[in-house]
A = this chain, B = another copy of it.
Amino acid sequence: MTEQQQRIVFFVSDRTGISAEGMGEALLEQFENVKFKRISEPFIKTAEKAHELVAKINQMAEEQEHRPIVFSSVANDEVLEIVKKANALHISFFDAFLGEMERELGMTARHEVGSRFQNIERYDARMEAVNFTLNHDDGVSDKDFKQADVILVGVSRSGKTPTCLYMALQYGIRAANYPLTPDDLDSNDLPRMLKPYKHKLFGLTIQPERLHDIRQERRPDSTYSAISTCRNEVEEAQAMFRRHNIPFTNTTSKSVEELAVSILQACNLKRRF
């Protein structure tokens, strides 16, 4: 039996490093048989911090069997040049592409940390969307369904709330949600509150076994969590979606990210920032 390879991975940025982590993770998951140990190094904005970081990377390189991998998104050239001297495989997103983009666009990049995130309009749109979502969680109030960009519909615990919050935070989308109650499900009709907003509805469904597991955590061995209840509710919810031509998706093996992007696409929603 061969031992599994281990690698230290650094995510380095002069800002949050969120984009370097996102793309770095997408690349790392292409390698299944390596154990990666991750270290995030955000806000490396000065030469001094960069030198400290290089010392840390070099020490890791000496202690480990293999040198580390560094994913960086560093706009500041001075910092980037220092980080590049570290003993590591350096995947530098800015180095790789900025030159090509400069040639294509016929101009020089600013090579400085940008202000994308320091944007009051963006912050406000986000706050508004988050507040909207919190105020319309679990169908607490229908008075502003008309202001919603989308209304997620599904049985209790089918994944509506995290999906709504993700859409609010990530895209500024005003996502309300409406939990289908047993009464709603017994009827052949759409719930009264939803009727005026049929074009905004998107359904979430889930595997009954998974729903059972989730509900067991909340109220163990109750009617609510019984597998028979879960089966019936899911079946009736799906029948409702089909009867009224409501687009829907199964959340069971999907991440919140995948759900959000699928809903954006299906409902033709535009991000607000």
Contact = CB atoms under 8 A, between A and B. Distances in A.
A63 interface: no
A93 B18 contact: no
B30 A126 contact: no
12 contacts: A16-B260, A18-B261, A30-B98, A30-B109, A30-B114, A40-B261, A40-B264, A42-B265, A91-B97, A118-B253, A130-B165, A165-B169
A257 interface: yes
Given A5-B105, A69-B101, A101-B89, A256 B27 contact: no
Contacts of A117: 254-255, 257-258
A238 to B, nearest CB: 21
Nearest to A32: B110
A119 B129 CA distance: 27
- How many copies of this chain does one complex carry? 2
Task: Indicate the size class of the contact surface on chain A.
Answer: 35 or more
A141 to B, nearest CB: 16
Nearest to A22: B19
A90 to B, nearest CB: 10
Interface of A: 5, 7, 15-20, 22-23, 25-27, 29-34, 40, 42-43, 69, 73, 75, 89, 91, 93-94, 96-98, 100-101, 104-107, 109-111, 114-120, 122-123, 126-127, 130-131, 134, 137, 159, 161-162, 165-166, 169-170, 210, 214, 253-258, 260-262, 264-265
A77 to B, nearest CB: 12
Majority SS at the chain A contact face:
helix
Contact of A27 (B98, B210, B258): B98
